Amino acid sequence: MINTADILETIGMIREENLDIRTITMGISLFDCVSDDEARLCQKVYDKITRCAEHLVEIGEDISKDYGIPIVNKRVSITPVSLIGGALTPDGYIRLAQTLDRAAETVGINFIGGYSALVHKGMTSSERNLISVIPEALASTKLVCSSVNVATTKAGINMDAIKLMGSTIKRAAYLTRDDSCMACAKLVVFANVPEDNPFMAGAFCGVGEPDCAINVGVSGPGAVASAIKRAGNCDLSTLSDIIKKTAFKITRVGQLVASEAASRLGVPFGIVDLSLAPTPAIGDSVARILENMGLETCGGCGTTAALAMLNDAVKKGGVMASSHVGGLSGAFIPVSEDEGMIAAAASGALTLERLEAMTSVCSVGIDMVVVPGDTDEAVICGLIADEISIGVANTKTTAVRVIPAYGKKEGDYVNFGGLLGSAPVMKISNLSPVAFIARGGRVPAPIHSLKN
């Protein structure tokens, strides 16, 4: 039977607690677009994206109206372009990025992800060509997002790739220095990247995915924060149950939207990513959830423990709500996109070191963190290596999306706008790991990766 109280509670979450569907993302395989001719490849890619996603935005808006559920973004993820652009020169990869941008504008989506390379064990010449022009590609497009997977628990860590990404990030920041270094906000470095992630900037359509599929990412930090506040002074076991029940209800909304979108578009339903994705809006913050759990301020002692409990409870509640959970699924802690995280970083309570500790128990990693523009390239490589090592050692996804803000120093603010929000420039140690990074090679996989 339908429980009226549950229906009313869900309506309340939408109206008063910022519950929404953060994204409907259509994954599109481009393997059938491969061509030795650059112009032919670009045309086939443009034609397939615009054909498959022609009605994505329209149907997303119709579902939102029919069910009264806000759907914030409609996006597309594609096959990592390094897998289809083997014959492309660096200039050809730039033209492909501009083709993707044009296709995204044509269908009216918010972002397109998949300008990506998977180089966790080594790099082909095609992948080197792609990485060499990521800054120029992101600087010359508005909607294209890029990701590079540099490590897996099974393969170890490709330090040569990390070294390349340090210089890539610095150059991307420089090329968009007059636009809040926006190219870096569209570029993420991964370990153990999921192949069905609907969230940008890391979304792409993996090699094991169907020709086309619908993946949905839910949100709802405000609903969880309110449920915790209503619970009052209960013990942690009771609090965990409350979070699980709330996550279940949030994920059921995502399951409904995903199934309906797949049905109306006539494509398979992929996964629901049940991550708590914050926004800069008041009342939609993961940091405030942690504070409602009993912390004085996010970033103080106890923060990692509270986040670990939150992440676990969210996953346990969400997996009961959908048979196909995937992506990242847990709690996101992007600094610029979370009102409470912004406040904690600005006050000094949240440091880069505390943030790194938190990433060992949450869904992603060092995300939307702004550092001074004069931060040395080797230091950025070291930051990436530290975070990637957490993912490899713990068999989890971790990532780095860092913005060295040109002309900015510690304590200044950088405004990205929209869901990307704004953030204070955080202090980072400039003690150099340059000799360590320069060794290159591959860090061997941990012993617990041998599970076959």
pLDDT at 242 over 80: yes
In the Cβ-directed half-sphere of 294, how many Cα atoms lie within 13 Å?
15
3-state secondary structure 134-201: HHHHHHCCCCEEEEEEEEECCCEEEHHHHHHHHHHHHHHHHHCHHHCCHHHHCEEEEECCCCCCCCCC
pLDDT at 144: 97
Residue 69 has pLDDT above 90, yes or no: no
99-105 average pLDDT score: 97
Query: In terms of DSSP bridges, do strands 71-78 and 21-28 run parallel, antiparallel, or are they unpaired?
Result: parallel
3-state percent breakdown (helix, strand, coil) of the chain, nearest 5:
45, 20, 35
d(CA 324, CA 272): 6
pLDDT of the residue at 7: 52
Cβ contact 253:312 at 8 Å: no
Degrees, nearest 5: CA angle 197-215-362? 35
Please say whether the beta carbons of 423 and 369 come within 8 A.
yes
| pLDDT tens readout for residues 187-224 | 999 999 999 898 988 899 999 999 999 999 888 888 88
Q: DSSP for 205-222, please give it.
A: --TTS-SEEEEEEE--HH
pLDDT at 97 over 80: yes
Q: Quick check: 88 and 98 in contact, CB under 8 A? A: no
Q: Is the pLDDT of residue 96 over 60?
A: yes
Residue 16 has a pLDDT of: 55
Taking a C-beta distance cutoff of 8 angstroms, is the pair 76, 56 a contact? yes
The terminus-to-terminus CA distance of the chain in angstroms comes to 45
Bin 441: left if φ > 0, else alpha if -120 < ψ < 50, else beta. left
pLDDT band at 1 (very low <50, low <70, confident <90, very high): very low
Angle subtended by helix axes 4-16 and 236-265, to nearest 10: 90
Q: What DSSP character marks residue 17?
A: S
Domains and CATH numbers, the chain: 28-191 (3.20.70.20), 217-436 (3.20.70.20)
- Hey, what's the torsion of the CAs at 362, 365, 370, 372, to 10 degrees? 130
**pLDDT beyond 80 at 11:** no
C-alpha 83 chain-centroid distance: 21
Task: Kindly indicate the confidence band of residue 332, based on its pLDDT and cuts at 50, 70 and 90.
Answer: confident
82 phi, psi to nearest 5 deg: -65, -20
The SS3 call for residue 78 is: strand
- pLDDT per residue as tens digits for the range 394-448: 999 999 999 999 999 998 999 998 888 899 999 999 999 999 999 999 999 988 8
| pLDDT score, position 17 | 58
- Tell me if 161 sits within 8 A of 381, measured CB to CB: no
Q: What is the pTM of this model?
A: 0.92
Return the percentage of the chain with pLDDT > 90, whole number: 69
**Which tens digits make up the pLDDT trace of 32-52?**
999 989 999 999 999 999 999
Mean pLDDT of the chain: 91
Residue among 281, 322, 308 at smallest CA distance from 363: 308
Enclosing H/E stretch for 369: strand 366-372
What whole-number distance in Å separates Cα of residue 88 and Cα of residue 231? 57
Tokens linked to 206: 């993996």
pLDDT bin (cut points 50, 70, 90) of residue 9 is: low
